[in-house]
Amino acid sequence: MLDKLKITLQYLMPKHALSRFVGKFAAAEAGWLTTRAIKSFIKAYEINMAEAKYQRAEDFATFNDFFTRELADGVRPIDNDVNTLCFPVDGTISQQGDIVDGQLIQAKGFNYSLVSLLGGEKETAQPFENGKFSCIYLAPKDYHRIHMPMDATLREMIYVPGELFSVNPLTANNVPNLFSRNERVVTIFDTEHGQLAMVLVGATIVASIETTWAGTITPPAGKDIFRWQYPAQGNNAITFKKGDEMGRFKLGSTVVSTFSPKMVEFNEQDGPGTVTRLGQPYATLVKE
């Protein structure tokens, strides 16, 4: 009964307005008030600040600075095996597996469309048909910078407007098409082994989604889909090595990654509920 009430409230609440309001406080240099909010957050979510580069609440001018805090050097070593991908974030796997008939698994009884997830154009989704996907949920306690699982070159970025439902497990199990209806930033990469998409999904109270090459993508929110193309070669090409930072969330959310067919095989022992740590082995490249 309580779970049903929580879901109903999410449909009714002004999610965008609430998220932008919280975002203003999170970005404000509010002195002692900011420090108190950070200390309360650390206590409530039992955050291990020993892993952070800066460890005191007083070290952060804004709540956003704290939330997107850097890790201390050496805390998340990047797996250096050229035949493996590394986890892109700290979080928990929600679902992962095969993309079947253009559908991804959200939760038991719920699938969602690959085309819709990637912005609505079949041409964008086509390279990933019959490939694989992985969905990783970032809880409030997690490190909230997103890194590359493999070497890649940016091809396209797409801003897709949408709702701002929470993306926690309760919502994922009860709100149809959650990841293809929420606001999101889709990033498409070329690699030597196929194409990779990383979808940064917004959520309630997510004050901002940023990328390292373009800065803040949202807010402001809009009603139109926007697309940016990037060169594949030359001085203006945007390239990444495995483990490089590519974006960040200001308050928690989800990353959905999709891979071309016959490109990767996920670790057999990993699946829904597996805790992920940036840099650890995620998948193995398929050798033809």
Task: Give catalytic status of residue 253 as yes or no.
Answer: yes
Asked if 78 and 281 count as a contact pair (C-beta separation under 8 A), the reply is no
Kindly name the residue from 19, 180, 208, 253 that is annotated as catalytic. 253
Kindly name the residue from 65, 90, 142, 190 that is annotated as catalytic. 90
Distances (CA, A) of 36 to 23, 41, 56, 235: 17, 9, 11, 45
Sheet containing 145-147: order of strands? 145-147, 245-250, 208-211, 215-218
Q: Where are the beta strands (DSSP E) in the chain?
A: 84-86, 91-98, 103-107, 110-113, 132-137, 145-147, 152-160, 184-191, 194-201, 208-211, 215-218, 226-229, 239-240, 245-250, 254-259, 264-266, 275-276, 281-285
Cα dihedral sign for 170, 175, 180, 181? negative
Task: Give catalytic status of residue 90 as yes or no.
Answer: yes
Kindly name the residue from 147, 190, 208, 270 that is annotated as catalytic. 147
Task: Look up residue 69 and give its two tokens.
Answer: 């805090």
Residues annotated catalytic, as ranges: 90, 147, 253
